[in-house]
Amino acid sequence: MWRKSSRSGGNGECVEVAGFADAVGVRDSKDRQGPELNFDPPTWTRFVIATRAGRFGTKA
């Protein structure tokens, strides 16, 4: 099941995430029929940990 990020604001820049048996999917919530990125669970976990730690800059 796809779900929208709890951090999504009202500015239209949202992503949806879905957990599958062997992957985590990410897509643009405005283009649900468009491309989808899929990550293996360990890679997704590392991404989430790095994001929470502030390793990625924010948009100015």
- What are the extents of the domains in the chain? 3-52
CB burial class (10 A; 0-12, 13-18, 19+) of residue 36? Answer: middle
Mean local confidence (pLDDT), 38-47: 95
Report the share of the chain in percent with pLDDT over 90: 55
Mean local confidence (pLDDT), 11-35: 89
- pLDDT at residue 36 in the model: 94
Q: Is the pLDDT of residue 48 over 60?
A: yes
- pLDDT at residue 51 in the model: 87
Cα(39)–Cα(3) distance, integer angstroms = 16
Please work out, in degrees rounded to the nearest 5, the angle formed at the alpha carbon of residue 51 by the alpha carbons of 49 and 40. Answer: 60
- pLDDT at residue 58 in the model: 64
